[in-house]
Structure 1
């Protein structure tokens, strides 16, 4: 693209000199000079800007995505664990505040979002996990062993996952992967971690999201001051508002917040289109490079982009492993896995109308 920009500039200027402007009629000199200038600006400037965006994209892909080749789906589906971290300028350390397993049909792109409560007790650990020796009966130390606490526990023991950093992951992320596999019975192929600041910046980079709010949402923390309200109805939210919607605890339970987090995730899936990506590419890349961590290889970007385009047009299924169906303190994991298997089962093929 840089070569094309330079070539076009040289060619245009060469053509302009061949015109011998001083020998042309005075009435033609102005528009010939203007045409040449416009040609240089549009063609050379366009190619130069495209080269710049290509560099931004290359840098962003290298900073965010891991290396590796094409990964095949398992039983016809891809699985991506989405973790929303609670790190921020007013917090010490990080724990996953939002835990979602996205199961994606590798043929149709149909998506099932499985919500795992952050305050889930006694998460079962698969026998092949490095965590199993310490927790053979599950993560079972009571109030100090909510599933989200596995992240900092593993971060303090990096020897359990010595190769995590080299693959674009971390001990905490790998521990969450193992625990979610134990809870859902599904293999977790990929992980994505984004912190609160990253979430807010990414929503702003996308130009906001539109969410249909069922009931007014009071903004604040239980026991703290009210700082605002999100009115009922269809609302276009910027990053700060969307973050409040996903995290506000005022007169809400953790399970209400999970529903709101899923609303935001679905809105992003429905509203992120190629036009948005092209027109806001630089800001999206800037928001992602420093604040998103994933082990999805660059080679899978095309596969997931294609599936995302197809999945936007299909119904999105949501399963929340929450009370009263699944008690978070004394969970029935056998039932949870049955519900998960039903939720990710292929949609029935519609019967053609005669």
Structure 2
């Protein structure tokens, strides 16, 4: 068939069946291969531009898919930089506008008045639906990219990467809790997550807040003040000399110990906590993550809640004798919103087991978050998550490491998390002359992967 005889470009305008079939072809082609309708029936220059843009997009998508299959870290790294995200946002806006122009031009080419009356509303409806689906998706992609860029810039620093040590990345997790009855912020929950840099296997080490007399490495500024352990000789500069007091003391009393902390995306108090935990565990900590517990509530809500198997009745509010309790989290399988998840992890008074039982609950929360928060619910609620995260999370993880940790986190998600319990049941009494050599032995045993015993010769 010659082009001159083509019913697409030179239809019999007097035949409603021909014009109707032509209309359906043009609308479908515009949806499947934007620009092709113009090449076949309209302005060829516009059509070639639209078709070329479409093929370029498909080629880039194919390249991204291949990179994701074979080198996922590379793709995640590229997509987690602010510059790339702004380029993607500009490209998405370009395609959104282009598809609007192509769809409106396709409707012009269709010549609805020449089609069968019964087909006209359906042709128009399909065109509008395609316009909303394609251009709307591109516009949302631009919005998503700019929001992500803002979130990354506000939370993650632009700093150098750190290599793994003995094949592992050690990240200090701090749950910050400031209240009207406290002078400054004091970490209410502390744990160290050690992740195998290749397999993603994670080991979580729950740190009781009432550790006492813990040592500092000799290169720590705090070692000069407490060479025999924190507060072990003449006490300390705050009312209680225990692990979570280090943040308060350094931040309020001796911030000059860590003069470069703020410039490096941290705080003096956080650096003091880093030195304290390194002294207790014997591990070098590359990065920290500080989570504001009030913002944690918003974060859980943004993700639609969390499923937890509650083993014991948990009070909301109240004191050691459960006076003034505002409510209870009942035992059993529960879907907790942010408020109740916060109290599930925070409640200490009026609960059997005290701090140690609370450490286990916080470990349960970390495990549940890792297992239940999927890319699907993150994408659908991203604006709320980004808003909550920007006000909730502080970290010194650099933007350049995000792609690597995203890929590593996906591996971690598929493996069971090993937990090290530094509790009396495991031979550790954190408040009464703890044996830190024994603590380090427990941690070392958890970090060493099991090996096959050599065969007897």
The TM-score, its normalising length taken from structure 2, stands at 0.73
1:263-274 matched pairs, under 5 angstroms = 263-274=364-375
| CA distance, structure 1, for counterparts of residue 377 and residue 289 of structure 2 | 21
Report the alpha carbon displacement of residue 313 of structure 1 after superposing the two structures with TM: 2.3
Is it true that 1:111 corresponds to 2:212 in the alignment?
Answer: no
Cα 1:210–1:348 change in 2 (3 A) is farther
Is it true that 1:315 corresponds to 2:416 in the alignment?
Answer: yes
1:71-86 matched pairs, under 5 angstroms = 71-86=162-177
Question: 2:243 maps to which residue?
Answer: 147
Question: 1:222 maps to which residue?
Answer: 320
Q: Report the secondary structure of 2:171's partner residue.
A: strand
User: Which of 39, 45, 53 lines up with 2:144 in the alignment?
Assistant: 53
Is it true that 1:251 corresponds to 2:354 in the alignment?
Answer: no
| CA distance, structure 2, for counterparts of residue 13 and residue 235 of structure 1 | 51
Q: Spell out, residue by residue over 1:206-263, the C-alpha distance to the aligned partner (whole angstroms, 9 max, x if none).
A: 2111111222223333143222222222111111111111121213311111111111
Report the alpha carbon displacement of residue 82 of structure 1 after superposing the two structures with TM: 0.2
Question: 1:161 maps to which residue?
Answer: 258
Q: For the aligned residues, what is the CA RMSD?
A: 2.0
Q: Report the secondary structure of 2:225's partner residue.
A: coil
Q: Spell out, residue by residue over 1:135-167, the C-alpha distance to the aligned partner (whole angstroms, 9 max, x if none).
A: 222211176211111101111222221221122
| CA distance, structure 2, for counterparts of residue 349 and residue 293 of structure 1 | 41
Question: 2:19 maps to which residue?
Answer: none
Cα 1:108–1:286 change in 2 (3 A) is same
Cα 1:79–1:231 change in 2 (3 A) is same
Question: 2:333 maps to which residue?
Answer: 234
Is it true that 1:181 corresponds to 2:278 in the alignment?
Answer: yes
Report the alpha carbon displacement of residue 65 of structure 1 after superposing the two structures with TM: 1.1
User: Which of 328, 333, 339 lines up with 2:430 in the alignment?
Assistant: 328
Q: Report the secondary structure of 1:133's partner residue.
A: helix
Is contact 1:161-1:174 (8 Å) kept? Answer: yes
Is it true that 1:32 corresponds to 2:129 in the alignment?
Answer: no
Show structure 1 runs of 5+ residues with no match.
Answer: none
User: Which of 53, 58, 67 lines up with 2:158 in the alignment?
Assistant: 67
Cα 1:89–1:7 change in 2 (3 A) is farther
Question: 2:394 maps to which residue?
Answer: 293
Higher helix share: 2
| CA distance, structure 2, for counterparts of residue 174 and residue 19 of structure 1 | 67
Report the alpha carbon displacement of residue 349 of structure 1 after superposing the two structures with TM: 7.0
Q: Report the secondary structure of 2:397's partner residue.
A: coil
- Higher deviation after alignment, 324-333 or 285-294: 324-333
- Higher deviation after alignment, 254-263 or 28-37: 28-37
| CA distance, structure 2, for counterparts of residue 79 and residue 318 of structure 1 | 14
| CA distance, structure 2, for counterparts of residue 258 and residue 221 of structure 1 | 18
Is contact 1:88-1:197 (8 Å) kept? Answer: no
| CA distance, structure 2, for counterparts of residue 268 and residue 257 of structure 1 | 17
Q: Report the secondary structure of 2:325's partner residue.
A: coil
Question: 2:190 maps to which residue?
Answer: 99
Of structures 1 and 2, the one scoring higher in RCO (CA 8 A, sep 6+) is 1
